[in-house]
Amino acid sequence: MYRETDIIQSADQSPEGDMIINVGPQHPATHGVLHLVITLNGETIKKVEPHLGYIHRSIEKMCESLSYRQFIYVTSRMDYLSAHINNHACALCVEKGLQVEIPERAKVIRVLMDELTRIASHELWWGAMAMDLGAFTPFFHAFRERETINDIMEETCGARLTMNYMVPGGVMHDIHPNFQRRVKEFLQLYKSKIHEYDELVTGNIIFQNRMKGVGMLSAEDAISYGCTGPVARGSGVSSDIRKVQPYEIYDKLEFDEVLETGCDSFARYLIRIKEMNQSIRIVEQLIDNIPEGDFQAKTKAVLKLPKGEFYTRVETARGELGVYIVSEGGTTPYRIKFRSPGFSNLSVLDKIARGGKIGDLIAMMGTLDLVIPDIDR
């Protein structure tokens, strides 16, 4: 699977005493097919060079020949852990072009789904992160709660991973009659278990020692490299799109943007743990207040966007997702660009890893929370 030229090129350029190590593309800690060519001097990392494209499907090109109703389904396959939020971003962008106002009920359902997705995504990250660092038990603890969310999703959307539930104009169909009851059950379950997360991992001294002071990222670098989401917020950069450019009903909800100033892996870890609690707060505010009414606005069967450019930004579990549609007035987009959070977050890996130890690389990569299909698209 290695591209031969990569290894030879890098070896030629490196001075005496340096060693080239390939991590991936099938390494368990890369959670997908990411290939890193690492230049080492002893145990010290001199350079990390990501090689992408192992799961590139050219989603942007595909979208150019799909209609405005169809292309949304492809986007579930980008960041598969935030499928709802990807769909949401695309639906918002199409609605911006159509100038459709969507019903209140649809807005609330969308936000509920987004926040449940965010919790599920962070749960998986937490389990996988701990597993990368050698602890196997947390993975099962995380999946216990995550499966409950997946069951709720399955009941309403019919899918556990690629939901395809948000459509231009609202949501595809109404929530399942059991939805509210089961979400409340989940909230109870989550609250009775969340202390285990801190007891197992957060407060664990071995774990803390491996995370603190590792992968330092200054606020200036975070902005310059275009980092968003928990990665930027771990360096104290306010970047939550839900706060800085609110969409749907986020401006009416009570929640805090979590910021940490540690700038290291541990700060990024804490952000995600605290963000789950903020998402729980949002779900609690909304679950008993889903307004009655339509779940979808009336739209034409064939959607046509006026000539022009439309851009939406939303906050996924990994950071800022931007959808940029250039329309020539037809039924398909002329050009679509997905500004994926993972792509920019990966670009900073070389910066934070240089000078660190090879053993710490996994802790750095883990807290960047990379999802490879989101990077390659």
Partner 1 sequence: MTNEELKAKLTEMHPEASFEEGGEWVNMVCSTGDLLSLMQQLRQEPSLSFDYLFCLTCVDFKTQLTMVYHLTSTSFRHKLVVKVKLDPKQPEVETVSAIWRTAEFLEREVYEMFGVNFLHHPDLRLLILPDGWEGKNPMRKDYEDPVNMIKL
Show Cβ contacts of residue 306 under 8 Å, excluding neighbours closer than 6 positions.
97, 327, 329
Q: Rounded to the nearest 5°, which phi and psi values hold at 324?
A: -120, 115
Q: Which of 53, 158, 293, 359 binds partner 1 (CB under 8 A)?
A: 53
Give me the least distance between CB of 125 and partner 1, in Å please: 22
Q: Smaller CB distance to partner 1: residue 213 or 226?
A: 226
CA distance 270 to 274: 6
Q: Which of 78, 98, 171, 237 binds partner 1 (CB under 8 A)?
A: 237
**From residue 313 to residue 332, what is the string marking binding to partner 1 with x (rule CB under 8 A)?**
x------x-x-x-x------
Q: Smaller CB distance to partner 1: residue 9 or 180?
A: 9
Q: Smaller CB distance to partner 1: residue 75 or 279?
A: 75
Is residue 86 a contact point for partner 1 (CB under 8 A)? no
CA distance 158 to 138: 28
Is residue 58 a contact point for partner 1 (CB under 8 A)? yes
Q: How big is the chain by its Cα radius of gyration, in Å?
A: 21
- Locate 133 and state its tokens: 């660092």
Q: Which of 185, 198, 206, 311 binds partner 1 (CB under 8 A)?
A: 311
Q: Smaller CB distance to partner 1: residue 156 or 316?
A: 316
Show Cβ contacts of residue 300 under 8 Å, excluding neighbours closer than 6 positions.
none
Return the closest-CA partner of residue 214 out of 40, 114, 356, 54. 356
CA distance 275 to 279: 6
Is residue 35 a contact point for partner 1 (CB under 8 A)? no
Give me the least distance between CB of 60 and partner 1, in Å please: 7
Stretch that binds partner 1, among 17-25, 156-164, 222-230, 256-264 (CB under 8 A): 222-230
Q: Rounded to the nearest 5°, which phi and psi values hold at 357?
A: -100, 150
3-class secondary-structure state, position 51 = strand
The interface with partner 1 within residues 162-221 (CB under 8 A) comprises: 221
DSSP 199: I
Q: Which of 52, 135, 194, 249 binds partner 1 (CB under 8 A)?
A: 52
Is residue 22 a contact point for partner 1 (CB under 8 A)? no
How many residues in the chain?
377
Stretch that binds partner 1, among 15-23, 179-187, 206-214, 305-313 (CB under 8 A): 305-313
Stretch that binds partner 1, among 22-30, 134-142, 270-278, 334-342 (CB under 8 A): 334-342
- Locate 114 and state its tokens: 């987004």
Is residue 259 a contact point for partner 1 (CB under 8 A)? no
Residue with tokens 């890098």: 10
Is residue 257 a contact point for partner 1 (CB under 8 A)? no
Is residue 3 a contact point for partner 1 (CB under 8 A)? yes
Residue with tokens 């934070």: 352
CA 348 to centroid of chain Cα atoms: 16
Is residue 351 a contact point for partner 1 (CB under 8 A)? yes
Give me the least distance between CB of 373 and partner 1, in Å please: 12
Q: Which of 26, 28, 244, 251 binds partner 1 (CB under 8 A)?
A: 244
Give me the least distance between CB of 360 and partner 1, in Å please: 22
Element (H, E) at 20: strand 19-23
CA distance 167 to 344: 27
CA distance 240 to 265: 19
Omega into 25 within 30° of 0, i.e. cis? yes
Give me the least distance between CB of 335 and partner 1, in Å please: 5
Q: Smaller CB distance to partner 1: residue 109 or 349?
A: 349
Residue with tokens 């939805």: 179
User: At residue 266, what is the residue type?
Assistant: F
Q: Using CB under 8 A as the criterion, which residues of the chain lie in contact with partner 1 when the complex forms?
A: 3, 5-6, 52-53, 56, 58, 60-62, 65-66, 221, 223-226, 237-239, 244-245, 308-309, 311, 313, 320, 322, 324, 326, 334-335, 337, 339, 343-344, 346-347, 351, 376
